[in-house]
C-alpha cells in the first residue's frame, strides 16, 4: 500500500485504476529535475502498462498527488537521469 494515498502498489490495481477511467500521467525524467507530465488516455495507459512496474528500473509506476488529485504516474527514465 502507498501510505500517502491508500493505493495498492500492484499491476492488477493499476489496471483496474486505468479501466475505471481514473487519471494517469506520463513523465519522461525526474520531476525534481524539471520533467513535465502529460495526461494519458485510457487506451494509451493500457497500451504501455505491461512494460512498467512499481519501484523498479527505467519504467516506474507510482501513485502520486498532482494538483490535489490522486493519479497513476508512468515515469520513464534514461541513463542520463542517473547523473
Q: What is the mean pLDDT of each run of 10 residues along the chain (83 residues)?
A: 61 96 90 79 97 88 92 81 53
Please tell me the pTM assigned to this model: 0.81
Vertex 69 angle, CA 15 and 55, to 5°:
50
In sequence order, what DSSP letters do the residues of 35-50 get, joined into one string? Answer: --EEE--HHHHHHHGG
Specify the length of the chain in residues: 83
Query: Would you state the cell numbers that stand for residue 56, as one nine-digit string?
Result: 523498479
Residue 49: count of CB within 10 angstroms of its CB:
20
pLDDT at 1: 38
Residue the block writes with cell 486505468: 18
Amino acid at each position: 500500500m502507498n501510505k500517502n494515498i491508500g493505493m495498492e502498489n500492484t499491476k492488477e490495481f493499476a489496471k483496474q485504476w486505468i479501466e475505471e477511467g481514473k487519471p494517469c500521467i506520463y513523465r519522461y525524467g525526474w520531476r525534481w529535475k524539471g520533467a513535465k507530465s502529460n495526461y494519458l488516455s485510457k487506451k494509451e495507459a493500457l497500451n504501455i502498462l505491461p512494460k512498467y512496474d512499481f519501484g523498479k528500473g527505467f519504467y516506474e509506476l507510482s501513485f502520486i498527488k498532482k494538483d490535489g488529485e490522486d493519479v497513476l504516474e508512468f515515469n520513464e527514465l534514461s541513463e542520463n537521469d542517473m547523473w
